[in-house]
Amino acid sequence: HKEPPPGTEAYIPQRFPDNRIVSSKYTFWNFIPKNLFEQFRRIANFYFLIIFLVQLIIDTPTSPTTSGLPLFFVITVTAIKQGYEDWIRHKADNAINQCPVHVIQHGKVVRKQSQKLRVGDIVQVKENETFPCDLILLSTSREDGTCFVTTASLDGESSHKTYYAVQDTKAFKTAEEVDTLHATIECEQPQPDLRKHINKPSPLGSENLLLRGATLKNTEYIHAVAIYTGMETKMALNYQSKSQKRSAVEKSMNAYLIVYLCILISKALINTVLKYAWQANPNRDEPWYNQKTETERQRHLIRAFTDFLAFMVLFNYIIPVSMYVTVEMQKFLGSYFILWDDDMFDEELGEGPLVNTSDLNEELGQVEYVFTDKTGTLTENNMELRECCVDGHVYVPHAVCNGQILPGAAGMDMIDSSPGVDGKEREELFFRALCLCHTVQVKEEETVDGIKRGIHQGKSTSFYISSSPDEVALVEGMNRLGFTYLRLKDSHMEILNREDEMERFELLEVLNFDSVRRRMSVIVRSSSGEYYLFCKGADSSIFPRVVSGKVEQIRARVEHNAVEGLRTLCVAYKKLTHEEYEETCRLLNSAKLALQERDKKLAEVYDVIEKDFILLGATAVEDRLQDKAADTIESLHKAGMKVWVLTGDKMETAAATCYASRLFHRNTQILELTTKRTEEQSLHDVLFDLSRTVLRQLSGDCQDYGLIIDGATLSAVLKPTQEGTSNGGNYKEIFLEICRNCSAVLCCRMAPLQKAQVLHKSLIGFCLTTIRIMGKEGRQAARNSDYAVTKFKHLKKMLLVHGHYYYIRIAELVQYFFYKNVCFIFPQFLYQFFCGFSQQPLYDTAYLTLYNISFTSLPILLYSLMEQHINMDILKRDPTLYRDIAKNSLLRWPTFIYWTFLGIFDAVVFFFGAFFLFDNTTFTKDMWIQHFTLFGTVHVEWKRIYSETFN
């Protein structure tokens, strides 16, 4: 609404939130209660709070200070750390919320802060500005009503995507014209799906929706209306409600705390029982100066309970109160070692690694499975056209053109012969198809990352941008082969042919690419009035829709290129009569205006239109492997990790890349679970055959297995089996059992949703830590991961070196905390046998208070930050050392029991060592009992010296 109806001025502000983004957890008013609530949810903190309250309520042998002061210290330090981190989030939020935006009010463009934006406001966004909220595109500076956007901060893709203005409003160009709009948009409730948007009364879709965080490109300005604001934007919904991740070390700590709590209760019970057994003798009841009244003597149950609580207080230091805060400090400070690592800094991008959470540092040393995309992760995502094949004739840019070998092509393996007259016509039609069937835009000189593009020998030139780097590679390749795409102007696509003559084609319809169809089409009209439908897509999507053409020759070349690791596309066309074109337009418009299931109806229409093609040829694009990608994967394998590659490429292309990157070796036995095989055998039989094959490995066969599965078969595997079917088994469980026994898995022909299904914990329960490869994509997208590196090769050092060190350090820190507290408190237990179980403390209050806070916490903290038990060069050279720490090996129960008994043994040595030291002619037994403070001091000093020596 431009203005609400009279009497409803407060309608929009009350119903919809403002545009503030809130990523912080606390406010000034709720910080103390909310932070205290979160901290006391920890078992150790809550336990010490109870102990402190017990000391305040009943008569205990130690002062409340001994528990209260350490607890206050731990709570304060943790609150300061969390408060500082939240203050940083507040600063970031304020910078975003106070960013100026341009809003149209009363026919003029005015500036206001982003946080003051409301649903229904019409905003003006200029080139290179970021969208302040989710917007419906009303009009643009371009005549055709399109604009171009990069969504790097949302999905990591820096390529340009095309969006379209609402058909009814695209003619409103100026602020005055836009201000005259009166319209109502009824839309669905906010949801996090970035690619879904349905407006019920109006036929609006995701192509009209501009998302917060995306950036306007190659368009002077746009006008758009705010539809979702603040925490209801799709970006905010995707960043909210992250599940709390808990590392294996933290789970072990909690389990150990419960064990030590049981030990504490047992010690208190034993001492309570022994006290009353000791006092059963009337001569040992109470000393003469502490005679109880007869009433007090009869309250045995209450006395027993208070004595039990007193012993709990006396032995409570077996639970390490400062362990959590020390662990947090170790993680927080230790995370800087990744940030400071110069070996992981990328000079080309000027970026280093990112650490978005320090809570999972040690999990970098516990990785068992690595899931990676192929394009842009294993490869450079820098496409280059290697060849194109037209009716069996192969053309290589800069090498072969129209059957002629060009200079510099010597030594290249080429299959080519000069085409005849008909072949030449087909060849030029193929080149025109690739110059027309795309969403590439022409961009003049631009500054990107500080480097001016489009400048050649001092002259301004144009370059291509697109949502797909493959399309740019194809259009640039056509340029080198003699056909140049010039521009899209007034709905006409202009190209320059080999004779330097301009050809104009009117762009009538674009059937955009999607991951289900795996193809895209355009309908154009030539200057002579002929209608053409050009289509390009995956071979599996094009070949079934072809009715003529040299299919077998082109299929053979596609398979050859796929085996070489090249990305292949097929190109086809058909001519349309005017009547056929009119019918096509009618079908498309009917689907676009559907009020329900519009996407489904569009897909059905596309299926009807895209058929009966004539096959023209195929292309092959190369995407080179990243530097040292193969070495990194080989090292991960040696370290015991299993690597899964998830890609949308066809099987042959993906498999070739996997061999090149050493995911598969020549001696790897490949197991195929593909549509081709399931057509020959039932899915049930194939699964059980593969299961029997991998079981032989468990029975002694040391064969290295690799699995290849395609998207269609994966869908069948994950589909719930119907009860009562004859297979009698669970396909998903059998599939996972096969995968667990394969060193590498390749999932090809995968749709984006299927990639998410593989990573989801409902399918595979071992995904915890996420590491994003930033590469050339938007750096802001890395915020949604736990860690980020710039190149795939940096994964090697992050896991094998930093992950190894993090786990070793934190594991020894945790074990040492439990060990030292056993050493400290077990002598207190032994001392009760020498003081008539009178709950007399062995140590002075100062030692009880400071032992955990400073005497023993600071040395182990420094140790856990600096320890390098193995040189990092050795860790990189010998990845098998990573196996030594796998599966939480240093925090298993046998190791924990060893440390516990070591603590008990050392405590016995300390206690009786001091006992016999005092048992001499100078100090009698009576004297050391009387001078127990000196005795306790000797204990503490011995333990401190021993601990520092141990470290």
Same domain for 484 and 602, yes or no, is yes
Is 391 in the active site?
no
Question: Three-state SS across 891-939?
Answer: HCHHHHHHHHHHHHHHHHHHHHHHHHHHCCCCCCHHHHHHCHHHHHHHH
Question: Three-state SS across 587-602?
Answer: HHHHHHCCCCCHHHHH
- Angle at CA of residue 771, ends 648 and 751, nearest 5°: 15
- What CA dihedral angle connects 238, 240, 241 and 242, to 10 degrees? 70
Collapsing DSSP to helix, strand or coil, 326 comes out as: helix
**Predicted local confidence at residue 128, as pLDDT:** 86
Contact 133, 224 (CB under 8 A): no
Same domain for 800 and 748, yes or no, is no
Measure the CA–CA gap between 891 and 815, rounded to whole angstroms. Answer: 8
Nearest to 378 by CA among 864, 763, 688, 746: 746
Same domain for 597 and 656, yes or no, is no
Same domain for 659 and 754, yes or no, is yes
- Angle at CA of residue 179, ends 178 and 184, nearest 5°: 85
Mean pLDDT by 10 residues, the chain (951 residues): 41 68 85 89 81 81 77 85 84 88 88 89 90 90 83 61 82 85 77 50 73 86 90 74 67 88 90 83 60 56 83 84 83 90 84 81 89 80 84 71 41 43 79 90 57 41 75 87 85 88 90 83 92 92 90 89 86 92 88 74 89 92 86 91 85 83 85 84 85 71 81 81 49 85 87 69 56 58 70 91 94 91 88 81 76 79 90 92 91 92 89 73 50 55 56 52
Residue 942 included in any domain: yes
List, in sequence order, every beta strand (DSSP E) within 44-181.
100-105, 108-113, 122-126, 134-140, 146-151, 157-164
Residue 839 included in any domain: yes
Residue 489 DSSP label = E
DSSP secondary structure of 712-729: HHHHHHHSPPPTT-TT-S
Same domain for 831 and 897, yes or no, is yes
Same domain for 389 and 488, yes or no, is yes
Task: Dig out the tokens for 211 from the structure.
Answer: 């998302």
Query: How far is CA 310 from its chain centroid?
Result: 49
Residue 874 included in any domain: yes
Q: What is the CATH number of the domain that holds 714?
A: 3.40.50
Q: What is the CATH number of the domain that holds 543?
A: 3.40.1110.10
Same domain for 330 and 468, yes or no, is no
Question: Domain of 746?
Answer: 369-378+626-632+641-718+730-765
Same domain for 695 and 828, yes or no, is no
Nearest to 483 by CA among 492, 474, 491: 474
Q: What is the CATH number of the domain that holds 175?
A: 2.70.150.10
Residue 687 included in any domain: yes
Same domain for 385 and 362, yes or no, is no
**Predicted local confidence at residue 459, as pLDDT:** 38
Show binding-site residues for Mg(2+): 373, 375
Contact 245, 359 (CB under 8 A): yes
Same domain for 438 and 561, yes or no, is yes
Residue 55 included in any domain: no
Residue 352 included in any domain: yes
Same domain for 598 and 468, yes or no, is yes
Task: Dig out the tokens for 729 from the structure.
Answer: 């088994």
Residue 277 included in any domain: no
Contact 355, 335 (CB under 8 A): yes
Q: Indicate the number of domains in the chain.
A: 4
Of the residues 624, 651, 676, the one at which a domain ends: 624
Starting at the edge strand found earlier in the chain, the sheet holding 215-217 runs 157-164, 146-151, 215-217
Instruction: State whether the Cα torsion 88-89-90-92 is positive or negative.
Output: positive
- Residue 636: other Cβ atoms inside 10 A: 24
Starting at the edge strand found earlier in the chain, the sheet holding 221-228 runs 108-113, 100-105, 122-126, 221-228, 134-140, 209-210
Of the residues 238, 257, 277, the one at which a domain ends: 238
Return the CA Rg of the chain.
36
Residue 566 included in any domain: yes
Show binding-site residues for ATP: 373-375, 471, 513, 536, 567, 647-649, 749, 755
Of the residues 195, 221, 238, the one at which a domain ends: 238
DSSP secondary structure of 740-754: HT-SEEEEES--HHH
Q: Which of 144, 373, 704, 878 is catalytic?
A: 373
Q: Which amino acid, 49?
A: L
Phi, psi torsion values for 137, nearest 5 degrees: -75, 120
Show binding-site residues: 373-375, 471, 513, 536, 567, 647-649, 749, 755
- Residue 76: other Cβ atoms inside 10 A: 11
Query: Beta partners for 199?
Result: 187, 204
Measure the CA–CA gap between 170 and 104, rounded to whole angstroms. Answer: 16
Q: How far is CA 261 from CA 6, 44, 320, in A?
A: 67, 9, 11
List, in sequence order, every beta strand (DSSP E) within 141-258.
146-151, 157-164, 209-210, 215-217, 221-228
Same domain for 703 and 845, yes or no, is no
